[in-house]
Amino acid sequence: MFEQILVVCMGNICRSPVGEKLLQHHFPEKNITSAGLVTERSCLVDKPADDMMIKIASQHGLNLSAHRAKQLTHALCHKADLILVMEKAHIELVHQICPLSQGKVMLFGHGLTASKEIPDPYKKSQEMFEYAYQMLDSAAYQWKKML
């Protein structure tokens, strides 16, 4: 049913690359990619994942070294069967880019029992990066049970 999954955050350098890799681990048969809402405006296109997120992910066995940030586009949204965002505000931002995406955008943390939003660790402490990673890991596991 959901063969094309798109994971979205603001810049595509912290949360969405990790979410993409975690889902790829759980669903190797699916096409899972990621993109950012403000990647182009923030001059992050083709930039690697954030150094701290690379470090945290590596400590958990995920390799983000090949990741390069890309901007969310109408074409990416149209191609996706499911679009997973990090915060409630991202839902409307995705709809602004692609109005036809309504009905296929959900929170990455949808299956979590506590907060469903995954906070942005960008330019914050190592602990915040670890916290975001743990939330993403738990949420990805919940998606494994739901899909």
Kindly list the catalytic residues: 9, 15, 120
Token pair 């499911």 is found at: 82
- For residue 99, the 8-state DSSP code is G
Residues contacting 92, CB < 8 A, separation 6+ = none
Burial 22-58 (b: 16+ CB within 10 A, else e): bbbeebeeeebbbbbbebeebebeebbbbebbbebbe
Q: Which two tokens stand for residue 30?
A: 């699916």
Do the Cβ atoms of 38 and 11 come closer than 8 Å? yes
* Phi and psi at residue 27, to the nearest 5°: -130, 70
